[in-house]
Structure 1
Amino acid sequence: MSSEAPKAPENGQDQSQAPAWQPPRLEKQVATRASPQLEKILEDGHGRIYARSVKGKFDNIRILMIYFTQIIFYGLPWLQWNGRQAVLFDLGARKFYLFGMVLWPQDVIYLTVLLIISAYALFLFTAIAGRLFCGYACPQSVYTKIMMWIERKVEGDRVQRIRLDEQPWNFKKFRIKFTKHSLWILFSLWTGFTFIGYFAPIRELPGHFMALTLGPWQWFWFWLYSGATLSFAGFLRESICRYACPYARFQSAMVDDDTFVVSYDYVRGEPRGPRSKKVDHKEKGLGDCINCSLCVQVCPTGIDIREGLQYMCIGCGACADVCNQVMEKMGYEQDLIRYTSGRAISERLTQAEARKRMFRPRVLIYISLLVIVTGVLIFSMLTRDTLKMNIIRDRGLLGREVAGGLIENVYRLQLVNTAEEPVTIQISAEGIANILIKRADNGKDMFVLPPASTEQIPVVVQIPYDSGLANGMHPITIRAQSVSEDNRKSMASDTSNFYVPN
């Protein structure tokens, strides 16, 4: 895909008859030739991108998002709640702690719904503003930005880094490169340490690290996440966004002409060309773009936004920031590159008019589904029972006659208390007249279940021998009712069969 600027009309040519400039489009290629996009990718694939630093509105937003996301990521495992880690996915104990909530494997439905919500949110954000997540919240973009900040502090900005890489190796170059990579490695190791701190008590991890007593899976994930952070954000960088990220490939199915994306206003900008600030570019037949190429130099993926929307664009807005600086110096109107829709540029809509078209039927459907599913999840989690029970029948002893003219069956009740406080449990049974139930070990029908615990309680169920029931199986229901210290009640029940022997 060519990046050359279209030529201005010749002197004396009727500009009204000149063909209007259009953004480059992907044309169908003959089978024996690669597309221009593929040719450009192959051409650029061997070169390194030296992104230039830029300051501006969108860069400030990215920095704020970095602070916001990383304070949460690095700080959340250290937060305490009721004397324990506030967020801990304890796979060994099969418990997930989320502040005041304890989730068990039986609660996997909540994880499923959460993934559905994430998918709907991704569809919604993409339909509204393209790869908004990629530019501001994606871990790849966030960590790349952090690595590039370290690189600029150690090696300097774009020109200094290019000169450093071109010069032969000497002690100064070795010292600078060693410092940069050492900081990269330390940051990556701290990131890997924090990651496993979500799956093991993080306050105990430093001691295990010093004593080298981490478990095999903990060592595996520590080195994997640390290595991924170093390689993806430090070395591969834009290659992940351009070649490996699947989101870049399927976003085109969710983006239409009313989606707000980083766009170059070709109607204003073309024909592009260099000029002096004192020159009246309108008289010369030039557009507002001075062809300075700064928008390409600041792009973290190395694309030219003037060629139109490309799947490699992560929507970070760096090109918009630097272009606004150039427009200010030239005395031109700002926002030659801006977040807007393709329709707004082609039909010359105002930003307000373009925003009205943003909320089209597909976006409203995504919002409705997102609100409904999120509401259902929140309601379900707030009203869920903190007590769960399953009946496990003792298959080695189906039924027997005991003293007192009773028939007895033995069961095990698997009880789960998901509350953060101990609860008193009272068990009962129904389904057969004069049925009795009690613990097998102490003969009582009440006991205390510890907080956030699961226990198997042996119980016996008895009925009178002269109850008149036929031999065989008879359905019964066993209930467990809890009363916590704040008088909140919860009930769980399960069904089983009572066996009457011959």
Structure 2
Amino acid sequence: MSAEHNNKDFSKVERIKIHQPDANKVDRFNPRNRIYVRAVEGFWSTLRKRLGWVAMLFFLVLPWIPWGDRQAVWFNLGEQKFHVFGLTIWPQDFTLLAALLMIAAFGLFFITTYLGRVWCGYTCPQTVWTFIFIWFEEKIEGARNKRIKLDQMPWSFNKLKLKVAKHTAWILISLLTAMTFVSYFVPTKEVYIEVFTLNATGGIYFWVILFTFATYGNAGWMREIMCIHMCPYARFQSAMFDKNTFIVGYNSKRGETRGPRSRKADHKAMGLGDCIDCDLCVQVCPTGIDIRNGLQYECINCGACIDACDTTMERMGYNKGLISYTTENKLDGVKEKVLRPKLVGYGVVLLIMTLIFVYATATISPIRIDVIRDRNLLFRETDQGLIENTFTLKILNKTEQTHIYNMSVKGLPKYEWIGLQQVTINGGEVLTLPISIAVDPVDLTRAITHINFGVETDDGAIEAKQESRFFGN
């Protein structure tokens, strides 16, 4: 076939292309213009689906795991206790929560600087639930073209049946999601039994209904609107990106000039690049962008366009990787740098915060003692001539077992303990105990003596101490 004949065929294809609707002209920023995501198969799509289903199953199963006489993970807000398997976190330990949030933040910064928005593309709940909803949508209404055609058709019994089936599936998924989420704060069996037997409290019904409609709205209707207009992460990610950050990128040097052609045509002789302008990369994108227009903050690095493009390249007999995970430097032919100050900085802070969190978690004391002095009277002299200070001890048993505790005070050579010195405290209870310490003034060498109250079990396995002061003459 001659080059002249090829050019004639190409011109004919171009004239046909002009009359086809341009997917890029759709105003994706208008919430009324719905994005119909096309199904795609490939390595990255398979990885995303598997991670999504694992995350979903982990979320659903975790509240059902038993741990003794309770569930393994239970955020008991009523008693202000967070149970995470064998660890019980009390309000006094909430600095651990702050540390955990800091670790999550710096972990996100580190991953974003190195791998871009892979969190958004693979593990963000909005993405996971959105693709689950799309999966059910495809199973009920059909592929992308069928869904578009169905929405353009006038209402009929068949259309109503499909729409009702789809939205029923969405609502059931949303209800399951809401009840599972509430089960992290209220015992799981209690939630399911009381909700379905209509014996749940108004608060439980409120939160179940709220999260049901929130999930249904976010994953079913809003979808990319959440990512484009409402998620703050997309707005400040540019502060973490650099030219060595991995992004989903289009190799314009290889792909341009784009245009349709037959598989047997010599596209190089026609002056064309490898991109055949099939728009599949746009049709599979959950946010409706055209990755060929360059780096855009709406891109969530899900890799769907990579799989779509690789499939097209394979069918055309071209090399894969026209769209790939790459960096701006690589696209520009500049040498990449893996280690750079920003990435190292985030990594060092992340490592330090993680070590601190692990140490703090491992050394959580199973008992806590707070000492409150009598503010009205610093000290008084007894009938025996002793100097007496009054204290209120608050002892918290942070374990789930009952223990017998012995109390003492250090820092005084000789003293008389007035009040109970051995107490029994049930698991999770706080004991308020008023006591007094009396000392012979002869044994006091200064007006203020620093002392330490201690509490421990008989075997010394559990102990805690708290500093205070003893006032004398």
Structure 2 residue 433 is matched with structure 1 residue 488 = no
Change (3 A) 1:303 1:42: closer
Unaligned runs of 5+ in 1: 1-10, 12-38
Alignment of 1:371-450 (within 5 A): 371-394=351-374, 408-438=388-418, 440=419, 443=420, 445-450=421-426
Whole-Å separation in 1 of the counterparts to 2:338 and 2:385 = 77
Alignment of 1:47-196 (within 5 A): 47-196=33-182
TM-score of the pair, normalised by structure 2: 0.88
Q: Residues 236-292 of structure 1, C-alpha deviation per residue, up to 9 Å, x if partnerless? A: 111111111111111112111111111111111000000000001111111000000
Secondary structure class of the residue paired with 1:358? coil
Q: Is this contact kept in 2: 1:423–1:482, CA < 8 A?
A: no
Change (3 A) 1:346 1:376: same
Percent of residue pairs bearing the same amino acid type: 41
Aligned to 1:452: 428
Change (3 A) 1:99 1:308: same
Q: Is this contact kept in 2: 1:100–1:420, CA < 8 A?
A: no
Point out the more displaced range, 215-224 or 93-102. Answer: 215-224
Q: Residues 87-119 of structure 1, C-alpha deviation per residue, up to 9 Å, x if partnerless? A: 111111011111111111111111111111111
Point out the more displaced range, 293-302 or 202-211. Answer: 202-211
Secondary structure class of the residue paired with 1:299? coil
Secondary structure class of the residue paired with 2:94? helix
Alignment of 1:163-312 (within 5 A): 163-312=149-298
Change (3 A) 1:76 1:499: farther
Displacement of 1:172 after TM fit? 1.2
Q: 2:70 is matched by which residue type in structure 1?
A: R
Q: 2:35 is matched by which residue type in structure 1?
A: I
Q: Is this contact kept in 2: 1:270–1:287, CA < 8 A?
A: yes
Q: Is this contact kept in 2: 1:260–1:341, CA < 8 A?
A: yes
Aligned to 1:33: none
Q: 1:482 is matched by which residue type in structure 2?
A: E
Q: Is this contact kept in 2: 1:232–1:240, CA < 8 A?
A: yes
Whole-Å separation in 2 of the counterparts to 1:475 and 1:219 = 56
Whole-Å separation in 2 of the counterparts to 1:496 and 1:150 = 67
Whole-Å separation in 2 of the counterparts to 1:209 and 1:430 = 54
Q: Is this contact kept in 2: 1:164–1:173, CA < 8 A?
A: yes
Displacement of 1:436 after TM fit? 2.3
Change (3 A) 1:416 1:377: same
Q: 1:279 is matched by which residue type in structure 2?
A: A
Secondary structure class of the residue paired with 1:204? helix
Unaligned runs of 5+ in 2: 1-6, 8-24
Secondary structure class of the residue paired with 2:33? coil
Structure 2 residue 307 is matched with structure 1 residue 321 = yes
TM-score of the pair, normalised by structure 1: 0.83
Whole-Å separation in 1 of the counterparts to 2:198 and 2:382 = 57
Whole-Å separation in 2 of the counterparts to 1:236 and 1:499 = 69
Whole-Å separation in 2 of the counterparts to 1:187 and 1:157 = 21
Whole-Å separation in 1 of the counterparts to 2:354 and 2:360 = 10
Displacement of 1:148 after TM fit? 0.6
Point out the more displaced range, 374-383 or 392-401. Answer: 392-401
Whole-Å separation in 2 of the counterparts to 1:54 and 1:111 = 40
Change (3 A) 1:46 1:431: same
Displacement of 1:343 after TM fit? 1.1
Q: Is this contact kept in 1: 2:103–2:353, CA < 8 A?
A: yes
Aligned to 1:369: 349
Whole-Å separation in 1 of the counterparts to 2:452 and 2:439 = 14
Q: Is this contact kept in 2: 1:421–1:484, CA < 8 A?
A: no
Whole-Å separation in 2 of the counterparts to 1:268 and 1:44 = 32
Displacement of 1:74 after TM fit? 1.0
Aligned to 1:16: none
Q: 1:452 is matched by which residue type in structure 2?
A: G
Q: Is this contact kept in 1: 2:412–2:451, CA < 8 A?
A: no
Count matched residues: 450
Whole-Å separation in 2 of the counterparts to 1:225 and 1:169 = 30
